Amino acid sequence: MKEEIRGTLPQQIRRAEAFVVDNLRRGVRLVGLERIEEPEYPVKAVREAIVNAVAHRDYQIHGDEIRLLLFSNRIEFYSPGRLPGHITVDNLVDERFSRNEAIVQVLADMGFIERLGYGIDRMLRLMAEAKLPEPRFEETAAGFRVTLLGHGASLFGFLPGSRRWHQLNLNERQEKALAFLAERDRITNRDYQELCPEVSPRRSGVTWLTWLTKT
């Protein structure tokens, strides 16, 4: 799937974020017995990467454009123009330098930037909170690339319709059991009863055996 985004910078940011969110896989995990759905990447970290690409690209470079690429295990954000001023890959977390001060200020006034000069710090914090690897920052021959690494194939508990569980044709109770198993490594009949209290003890054994047969 390919989409070209045009319009004002705020429109581009909103549409780019919407494109990523619409195409993110969602997982499910259990906190106690509560089923919590989460996107594969923290949406705020995605937004920071998009805003960073728009705010700091080199607009004097023509014939190139910002590129956002979604892979099965990562998202890459490419922006034309190498790092500005004295900023390097090694010091960009600690140093501050803006190539496009007017654009950065306008985006801050519009609420796209929470705190000037701290977008990289927020990305690092958000990815750490999501228990994901640190973002990868790289200079290319003529640009700068930020890579967010995701859970990939280890994303547990894919929701109905995902590639991992779709072929199993599971019902919601079976998906709950599979998510529990993915997180705890084992599940007992009592665990299953607590997850799905509407199922009778006798029926739960039959359902569980059927699920094991399907996997």
CB 50 within 8 A of CB 18: no
Predicted confidence at residue 3, as pLDDT, reads 82
Number of separate domains in the chain: 2
| Alpha carbon 64 to its chain's center | 25
Q: Range of 199's domain? A: 160-214
Q: Which amino acid is at 192?
A: Y
Of 114, 137, 153, the last residue of a domain is: 153
Say whether both 136 and 176 belong to one domain.
Answer: no
Residue 179, token pair as written in the block: 């998510």
What is the full DSSP assignment across 90-117? TTTTT----S-HHHHHHHHHTTS-SSTT
In a domain, 67, yes or no: yes
Say whether both 171 and 77 belong to one domain.
Answer: no
Say whether both 142 and 166 belong to one domain.
Answer: no
Say whether both 18 and 101 belong to one domain.
Answer: yes
Strands (E), the chain: 26-31, 34-39, 67-70, 74-80, 136-139, 143-149
Per-residue pLDDT of the chain (215 residues), as tens digits, is: 678 888 899 999 999 999 999 888 877 666 666 667 778 899 999 999 999 999 999 999 998 999 999 988 899 999 999 998 899 999 998 888 889 999 999 999 999 998 777 889 999 999 999 989 999 999 999 999 999 998 765 554 544 444 445 445 566 777 677 777 666 667 777 777 777 776 655 544 444 443 443 33
Say whether both 67 and 171 belong to one domain.
Answer: no
